[in-house]
């Protein structure tokens, strides 16, 4: 979120500095799977859903502009997605019903439904009774390539990077915020907080309480046994996303867990699900990792002013959807910072809504 917003600002000609203590190996954007699935939605039951789908639809254009700015290609992989429900599992049947209702409600058209496993899984999966949805237009992005390109594009656009935190609380006077680092001091007319699951720490220094929990996600990468570009979701709770000749497999959902790194919980999760759905496939990990998703109390992001008078804004809390929501979020925040009308009404994501931020009582 921070890099996407910084690039948008730099493109408008603003002088931009990004600071990050970089004290974590659990940055969500690095850990993510990069899944961008709209389920071909045309009718939206909430502003969140509409924001999410509209943002994903901007991806082709956004990546093309990013590729041009960074001088490095970030492909959008339109390999499609197979969503497979095991009809012998009552919980999966409930999920299937909920998914069918959603597709109906959202007037989705770009998918097919069958009762047989896709060919490339037949030799690998023992599931006997299945319902399979195939969405041929779904896409994913390699989020680590995306991050690298955003960083490069920012640098080319003149964005300055600093590892570390200001040594003192943000100081505001007469339209300017002073951020004092050990080496020097930055002065800014606008400050955007986009520190993911760690945002509450920065807010604490500003006297603001933030009801936010980290939700740990653990993943592994295994060899790509089918060799195709398509994603696979089993029962909506295990996914496999191609990374060239390997597959990202995940992910756990562990609220309130600040621990970093891959552990026994992640191992058991992946082992149990892979053994059930794809027992013949090698579970030997090529890589393991974890990340902390930023989740707010009502699961809606915080995108808006922290303090409009001082020029302080926030963009965080995108939970499981931050890679998908980055293009539109960056556009909206940039418009907000410049006092212009955002391309999406941000009022549902006002950080000061009832379930949102609070002031520390003194
Ligand atoms: C396992 C997993 C799978 C996921 N899969 C998907 C997916 O398929 N599709 C999707 O759309 N989303 C996915 N997500 C969600 C997505 O990754 C997040 O919503 C998104 O990355 C959040 O971005 P962010 O910039 O807010 O936070 P982060 O990427 O966590 O970045 C926060 C940054 O803030 C820095 N920071 C910490 N403290 C401070 C401070 N005091 N001041 C300044 N900076 C600070 C951190 O070092 C870090 O660099 C997934 C997440 C996980 C963990």
Ligand 1 neighbourhood includes 27 CB (under 6 angstroms) = yes
% of the chain with per-residue pLDDT over 70? 99
% of the chain with per-residue pLDDT over 90? 96
**Predicted local distance difference test score (pLDDT) of residue 24:** 87
Dihedral of alpha carbons 333, 334, 340, 342, sign? negative
3-state secondary structure of 334: helix
Question: What's the CATH code of the domain at 245?
Answer: 3.30.9.10
**Predicted local distance difference test score (pLDDT) of residue 42:** 97
Report yes or no: 107 and 42 within 8 Å, Cβ to Cβ.
Answer: yes
Ligand 1 neighbourhood includes 253 CB (under 6 angstroms) = no
pLDDT for 53-83, tens place per residue?
A: 999 999 999 999 999 999 999 999 999 999 9
3-state secondary structure of 271: helix
Give the residue, by CA position, lying nearest to ligand 1 atom 39: 195
**Predicted local distance difference test score (pLDDT) of residue 198:** 96
Residue finishing a domain among 274, 293, 312: 293
CB atoms within 10 A of CB 114: 12
* pLDDT surpasses 80 at 131: yes
The rounded mean pLDDT for the chain is 96
Q: Higher pLDDT residue, 255 or 361?
A: 255
What tokens were used for 128? 């006997």
CA of 293 to the centre of ligand 1 (A): 6
> What is the layout of strands, in order, in the sheet containing 171-173?
171-173, 176-180, 185-188
Same-domain check for residues 217 and 287? yes
Same-domain check for residues 152 and 59? yes
Would you place residue 23 in the very low, low, confident or very high pLDDT band (cuts 50, 70, 90)?
confident
Max intra-chain CA distance, the chain: 69
Measured CA to CA in angstroms, residue 98 lies from 88, 102, 222 at distances of 16, 6, 30
Residues linked to residue 307 through DSSP beta bridges, in sequence order: 312
> If 0-12 CB within 10 Å is exposed, 13-18 middle and 19+ buried, where does residue 255 land?
exposed
Would you place residue 237 in the very low, low, confident or very high pLDDT band (cuts 50, 70, 90)?
confident
* pLDDT surpasses 80 at 361: no
Residue 119 falls within a domain, yes or no? yes
Ligand 1 neighbourhood includes 316 CB (under 6 angstroms) = yes
Q: Which of 320, 327, 349 to mutate to test the pocket of ligand 1 (most atoms within 8 A of CB)?
A: 320
Report yes or no: 334 and 9 within 8 Å, Cβ to Cβ.
Answer: yes
Residue 362 falls within a domain, yes or no? no
Residue finishing a domain among 293, 323, 342: 293
**Predicted local distance difference test score (pLDDT) of residue 168:** 87
Domain boundaries, position 49? 2-74+143-211+297-356
Same-domain check for residues 137 and 219? yes
Average pLDDT over residues 314-343: 98
* pLDDT surpasses 90 at 49: yes
> What is the layout of strands, in order, in the sheet containing 191-193?
191-193, 312-316, 302-307
Same-domain check for residues 88 and 197? no
Residue 99 falls within a domain, yes or no? yes
Same-domain check for residues 104 and 205? no
Residue finishing a domain among 240, 261, 293: 293
Same-domain check for residues 31 and 95? no
pLDDT for 148-174, tens place per residue?
A: 999 999 999 999 999 999 988 899 999
* pLDDT surpasses 70 at 362: no
Same-domain check for residues 251 and 264? yes
């Amino acid at each position: 979120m921070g890099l996407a917003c910084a690039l948008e600002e730099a493109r408008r000609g603003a002088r931009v500095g990004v600071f990050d203590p970089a004290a974590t190996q659990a940055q969500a954007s690095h850990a993510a799977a990069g899944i961008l699935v709209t389920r071909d939605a045309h009718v939206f039951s909430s502003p969140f859903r509409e924001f999410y789908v509209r943002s994903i639809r901007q991806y082709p254009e956004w990546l093309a502009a990013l590729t041009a700015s960074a001088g490095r290609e970030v492909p959008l992989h339109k390999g499609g997605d197979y969503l497979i429900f095991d009809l012998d599992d009552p919980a999966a049947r409930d999920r299937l019903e909920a998914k069918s209702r959603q597709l109906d409600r959202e007037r989705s058209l770009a998918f097919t439904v069958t009762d047989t496993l896709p060919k490339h899984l037949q030799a690998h999966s023992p599931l006997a009774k299945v319902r399979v949805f195939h969405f041929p237009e779904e896409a994913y992005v390699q989020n680590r390539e995306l991050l690298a390109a955003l960083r490069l594009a920012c640098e080319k656009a003149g964005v300055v990077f600093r590892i570390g935190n200001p040594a003192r609380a943000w100081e505001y006077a007469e339209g300017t915020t002073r951020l004092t680092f050990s080496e020097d001091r930055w002065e800014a007319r606008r400050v955007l907080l986009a520190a993911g699951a760690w945002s509450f720490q920065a807010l604490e220094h500003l006297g603001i309480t933030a009801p936010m929990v980290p939700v740990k996600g653990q993943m592994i990468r295994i060899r790509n046994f089918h060799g195709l570009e398509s994603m696979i979701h089993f029962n909506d709770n295990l996914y496999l996303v191609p990374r060239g000749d390997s597959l990202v497999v995940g992910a756990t959902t562990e609220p309130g867990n600040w621990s970093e790194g891959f552990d026994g919980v992640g191992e058991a999760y992946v082992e149990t699900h892979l053994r059930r759905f794809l027992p013949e496939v090698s579970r030997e990990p090529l890589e393991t990792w974890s990340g902390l998703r930023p989740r707010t109390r009502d699961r809606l992001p915080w995108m808006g002013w922290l303090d409009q008078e001082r020029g302080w804004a926030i963009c965080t809390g995108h939970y499981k959807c931050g890679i998908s929501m980055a293009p539109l979020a960056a556009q909206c925040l940039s418009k907000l910072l410049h006092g212009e009308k955002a391309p999406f009404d941000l009022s549902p994501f006002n950080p000061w809504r009832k379930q949102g931020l609070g002031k520390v009582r003194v």
